[in-house]
Amino acid sequence: MPRLLAAAGLSLRFVRAVFLSGLQTVAVILKSGRPGGTPPPVALVRVRFAPMSARGAALLGSLVSLTPGTTTIDIDLERRELLLHVLDASDTDALVAGIRQDFEPGIRALFGREVTT
């Protein structure tokens, strides 16, 4: 039952994150798409993630990819790092905080107890 609750909470937070960052992405496109607009500050960054199983890491990478504005390019299980491409890298701290708060607790509740490979 706690797993079911964790899954439901994760889904709700995910939908919220998708819509919020979807709006952000639209804003970035419209801002940089105007004639004379500035292109967004794109960046490749690494983000450490909490200990979890390989399946959990795959789910985390997929959710991060589905959230507009970030694409998972590589998952490094040994160093527990996600390599992300970020569309709007002006506030990476908020981005990392978003991943930590929205996705990690739910995924750790679902996949954290399995053996980390």
Partner 1 sequence: MTVIAVVLIGLGAALLVIAAWGVIRLPDALSRQHAATKAGTLALALVLIGAFLFVPTVEWAWRLGLILAFLMATLPIASHLLARAAVVEAGLADEMRDAPRVGDEPS
State the residues that interact with partner 1 by CB under 8 A: 18-19, 22, 25-26, 29-30, 32-33, 37, 39-40, 42-51, 61-63, 65-69, 71-74, 80-81, 83, 85, 87, 92-93, 95-97, 100, 104
Please report how close the Cβ of residue 87 comes to partner 1 at its closest, in angstroms.
4
Identify the CA nearest to 74 among candidates 46, 115, 98, 104.
46
Nearer to partner 1, 9 or 25 (CB): 25
Nearer to partner 1, 9 or 50 (CB): 50
* 8 Å CB contact between 68 and 25: yes
Please report how close the Cβ of residue 64 comes to partner 1 at its closest, in angstroms.
8
